[in-house]
Amino acid sequence: MSPIFIIMGIGLLIPILFCILYNEAHIYYRSFYIPSLLSFVLGTIFYLFKDDDFNLDLTNSMLIVGLSWIVVSLIGGLPFMIGLKKNFINAFFESVSGFTTTGITVFQSLDTMSHSILFWRSLIQWFGGLGILTFFLFITFRSESDLWQLFTAESHKIDTTRPVPNIFRSIKILWLIYGFFTILEFIILIVLQLSPFDALLHSLTTLSTGGFSNYDASIAHYAHTGHPYYIIIEYVIIFFMLAGGINFLIHFKVFKGNVKELFHNFEMKYFWGIITAVLILIMTAKIFDHSLYISNFEAVFRKSLFQVVSIMTTTGYATEALTSSFFPALARQLFLFLMLIGGCVGSTSGGIKVIRFAILNKLFGREIKKLYLPNRAIMPLKIEKKLIPKDEIYKISALFFIWLIIVLIGGLITALFSDLDALQSISGMFSAMSNIGPFYFSVEKMASLPTIVKLSYIIGMLAGRLEILPIFIIFTKKAWK
């Protein structure tokens, strides 16, 4: 964990450039150099006690991953405590929401907030997009085997295929693709006459599918203020949200010339199919409630597509509030379904992932077939001619089960300790576990929720981002032994 503290110390110095650039008050300088100094001190102390002969296995890798995300989030929340005078729970909540790329915020009046603080909120989402630990280890890794153990613990996926056999080169390729898309979006938004600061922040939080904006109205700000290119801006952000929600291994194959993978891959077929089906249902619902006409077809299509993609990729940007009358009841129920599924495996999105949903769907189909086929029939579960091991099916079923249980518990806690109704209560925990951001009540209400509810959301955000196991293993006594 020593290099994690050192890199955090360096990262905390970057926002000071914005303090200088925008001539901010001295308190904002302190917001970053004090936590930075603390990180360097802790990193040095941890380094003095490190064991060069320590060998990683999956259990202690998960312990390191879980603890690292918690400690990094604690340090990342200090600028909010010092610069914005936020209490501990709100600062920690915002930091966890940032690093896990959830995007739930308890902060208001973003439009007038310090530039350095706003940049820090966006930067931690960008760090968290592909995994903070793999980023730090990419810079300061010890060995190939150690890197693979920690990469597996932080982002344990059903498909462990890599761009290349060497894990260090694989992670390098993933971060290069991630950086390329971030820079490309930044350039395009600059061309569309966004300020460099706006373009930078939204580029950092789009590819990471984080959704933190520097405006209370999110992306709707540009439409509200009459920006001349707001329509194009929304379509550009839709494109890059999709880029963040797609498996980065698919991006690698596309860059290598295999474009058909973008549409013929098993998971991608489900990904495009779900987006298309939900979009058609919402547009149909708009016809039934007499709010869709030829004259407003493009606007309704764009706003619906934007929100479907934003939620499917768990980015959380908005051009219309989920609670607005624009979205009929059917759309709000479909949004919960999209929150549950999330983006593709190997992407920066949250949720249970499209591939797991697809496997559970095929598993159910197999059970139907078993009812009318002979008992001796052998029906292995395959994806693209690859056999899915039974252990992987058991793991998916277990994770899906505990995911629903955590959402239920969080929803019950919210309902018990607040005056939110049933749908509002469950939507908050849905948002936290899926690392999505939007929910069916106001930001003001979220900020006013009691500490116990916010703590349950914090656990949900961390469990959702790390796919549950690394967080649960921290509370497992035998794992420590």
Contacts of 184 (CB under 8 A, 6+ apart): none
pLDDT tens digits for range 395-434: 888 888 999 999 999 999 999 999 999 989 999 999 999 9
Q: Which residues of 86-118 are buried (b: 16+ CB within 10 A; e: fewer)?
A: beebbbbbbbbbbbbbbbbbbbeebeebbbbbb
How large is the C-alpha radius of gyration of the chain? 22
Taking residue 243's Cβ as centre, other Cβ atoms within 10 Å add up to 23
403 vs 382: CA distance, rounded Å? 24
H-helix segments, 12-114: 16-21, 26-48, 58-76, 78-83, 88-99
Nearest to 253 by CA among 152, 313, 181, 173: 173
Check: CB of residue 117 under 8 Å from CB of residue 84: yes
Check: CB of residue 414 under 8 Å from CB of residue 420: yes
Contacts of 351 (CB under 8 A, 6+ apart): 314, 339, 340, 341, 342, 343, 434, 435, 436, 464
DSSP summary character for residue 361: H
In 3-state terms, what secondary structure has residue 125? Answer: helix
327 vs 181: CA distance, rounded Å? 31
331 vs 300: CA distance, rounded Å? 13
Taking residue 25's Cβ as centre, other Cβ atoms within 10 Å add up to 11
Contacts of 249 (CB under 8 A, 6+ apart): 159, 161, 162, 163, 346
**Can you give the pLDDT at residue 141?**
54
Contacts of 215 (CB under 8 A, 6+ apart): 110, 111, 221
**Can you give the pLDDT at residue 159?**
47
**Can you give the pLDDT at residue 173?**
85
- Return per-residue pLDDT of the chain as tens, 481 residues: 788 888 899 999 999 999 999 999 999 999 999 999 999 999 999 888 877 777 777 788 788 888 889 999 999 999 999 999 999 999 999 999 999 999 999 998 999 999 999 999 999 999 888 877 666 666 555 555 556 566 665 654 444 455 655 667 777 888 899 999 999 999 999 999 999 999 999 999 999 999 999 999 999 999 999 999 999 999 999 999 999 999 988 999 999 999 999 999 999 999 999 999 999 999 999 998 888 888 889 999 999 999 999 999 999 999 998 888 899 999 999 999 999 999 998 888 988 999 999 999 988 888 888 888 887 777 888 887 788 888 888 888 888 899 999 999 999 999 999 999 998 999 999 999 999 988 899 889 999 999 999 999 999 999 988 888 888 888 888 888 8
pLDDT tens digits for range 100-133: 999 999 998 999 999 999 999 999 999 888 877 6
- Cα of 153 vs its chain's centroid, Å: 17
pLDDT tens digits for range 22-65: 999 999 999 999 999 999 999 999 888 877 777 777 788 788 88
74 vs 62: CA distance, rounded Å? 18
122 vs 63: CA distance, rounded Å? 27
**Can you give the pLDDT at residue 158?**
44
